[in-house]
Structure 1
Amino acid sequence: MLVIKKNGAKVWVTFTVSSMDLIEGITLLGEWNTWKGEPMKKKKNGDYYLTKVLNRGKSFEFGYMVNGEQWLTEDMCSSVPSPFGSQNSLLEL
């Protein structure tokens, strides 16, 4: 799930992944920082989240890496092919 708040030239995007069984950790990866993984924080209810401040008017590919091995896309975004034969989410701000 995504929550997007726009303020001038900046956009606050909160990425949230609902809790699933046997999750040890989720990392957010995206074009905004050349695909460097950022560990998501765990809420008391088991969901994982991370808020990023990004530039308005830009598009970014991204995805979630679960337990260091399973690649997930965001249901609220369209998908685009990745160079690795999978799909990436496309965030359009």
Structure 2
Amino acid sequence: MELLPQARAERARWGVGLLFFVNAIAFASIVPRYVELRETFSLDNGTFGLIIAAGPVGALAAVSSPAGCCGRSAPRRPPSPPRCCWG
């Protein structure tokens, strides 16, 4: 396995950190509205807890499920970017 060059590894670390930061900001923007959402849809504590817990469970399923498909049908060469990205 080939290791990443130092600059590329550093950019990857910053990218992952930025991803977590944006995720935290998005989550923090919905948390103050939990009470309003619960009252709007007249949910009890148990139902609301299940709905909130379904988010991370769905995210884990969405992240891990394509891995098997990509491993079985990996392209022989990397795909080229779409023409709309070429400017």
TM-score grouping bracket, smaller chain normalisation: under 0.3
Kindly indicate which of the two structures has a greater share of residues assigned to helix.
Answer: 2
Question: TM-score, normalising length from structure 1?
Answer: 0.19
Identify the structure with bigger relative contact order (alpha carbons < 8 Å, sequence gap 6+): 1
Question: TM-score, normalising length from structure 2?
Answer: 0.20
Larger radius of gyration, structure 1 or 2? Answer: 2
Kindly indicate which of the two structures has a greater share of residues assigned to strand.
Answer: 1
